[in-house]
Amino acid sequence: MAVAHVIGLGRSGIAAARLLRRQGWQVSLSDAGHSAALVDRQQQLEQMGIQVYLDTRFSLDQLAALENPLPQRVIVSPGVPWDLPSLVEARQRGIEMMGELEFAWRNLRQFPWIGITGTNGKTTTTALTAAILQRAGLKAPACGNIGYSACELALAGDPLDWVVAEISSYQIESASTLAPKIGVWTTFSPDHLERHGSVECYRAIKAALINQSEHKVLNGDDAILQQGTAWRWPEAVWTLAQPNAYTGDLPFVPRVDIQAGWARVDQQPIVEVHRLKMHGVHNQQNMLLAIAAAHLAGVEPAAIAEGIATFPGVPHRLEQVGTCGQVNLINDSKATNYEAAQTGLAAVQGPTILIAGGDPKKGDDRTWIQTIHQKAAYVLLIGNAAPAFAQRLHDTQFSNYEIVETMDRAVTRALELAKDSPVQSILLSPACASFDQYPNFEKRGDHFKALCQPYLTE
């Protein structure tokens, strides 16, 4: 019997292990953590014949001591760095290595894929694209970093019209043969540099997915994408929400754009922009990318328009929690880097009380700081990043900030400040990952919403 090993006891790792087991592999799984929840998952998988090792970091020596023979295949969950020395050693020793998404692709490649990547905007574009296709009567579930893990779709075994996948740089680098029918690149800015090392490496990983896609869709509002890729893929479909973003001297003409309040494809009106329920120019950009993908997938204009008009938005991305008096409470927990947080702050009605902080990331904060000066009445700082953010605000002569450390204190203090100030919004938009205080950004956003609930007047 062939032997396989899966690293990571999260949702994608569990699905990969179960799929391997169904296909007749002898499967083991390891995870560096240990908690009551992980023990529960361990017990469930071991009842399926999958051996699970907790408190175990992957290494061939340790695996050899636990079981024999060594695996012929190792599948890596997205959160595991692809360049770990133990993984490099395994590849050098001829063990087949792949990410969970690559394994899913090999089991679902009979269906056409829409692969959506980018620094920001991936989740909204993926969810909206899937909603449009589903409105057209197609079986097109969202997966990857949203909805199902891709291996869960393979486990279900259902016939699909499309696979709509949100794909991170972590997943691309471990998915060497993934080749979507349609590839979408939403935005590009420095992110995940603590993992990828340089902007150039990060860009090359993103570009690899688009390069392997049959049809290419790119955001023409993004100056970095314009400058870096316009000459590389002359056949690509470019979108444009902001006419001023197009210089006219680039070797492409936007095929999907906004003109006189209408989103258009090849100058054909598709849907009035005001029917989009989400606020902000960035969401108009996401809408155009989804329209382009749906058009390439063969969806009729009427179904595209209906899909956009009925789409409610994405949880944790400028999500309207409710109001307290005249103040809007908005959950933007998914804004885990400076660019996303700046976009969120710019999109809401000010003056704003901003709640920011968490597990800090590398990046350029200058535009974010500038927008704070323009839109924020107060900034309340939480998590590990709070002292550094406070110093940064002090250095730029922004004085209305407080370190409150926790979400509970942040919400209480924000509501106190709102009573005596003409603020329009209280916005959680952290500009940080969540891992210092929460297991993921969803738990962080859910906590914010729960704390707001007793104060809602609508």
∠ CA 319-264-286, rounded to 5°: 25
Judge whether 123 is annotated as a binding position: yes
d(CA 90, CA 103) in angstroms, rounded, equals 17
Q: Is 352 annotated as a binding residue?
A: no
Report the distance separating Cα 6 and Cα 2, nearest Å.
14
Give the pair of three-digit tokens for residue 191: 């992110």
Check: CB of residue 167 under 8 Å from CB of residue 209.
Answer: yes
- The helix (run of H) or strand (run of E) holding residue 306 is helix 301-309
Question: How many beta carbons lie within 10 A of that of residue 233, not counting itself?
Answer: 18
Tell whether 367 is in a known binding site: no
Q: What values do phi and psi take at 364, rounded to 5?
A: -95, 115
Strand partners for 257? 240, 264
121 marked ligand binding residue: yes
Cα–Cα distances (Å) from 109 to 150, 181, 458, in that order, read: 11, 10, 46
Q: Which two tokens stand for residue 215?
A: 């049809």
* Burial (0-12, 13-18, 19+ Cβ within 10 Å), 297: buried
According to the annotation, is 120 in a ligand binding site? Answer: yes
Binding-site members for ATP are: 118-124
Residues within the annotated binding site? 118-124
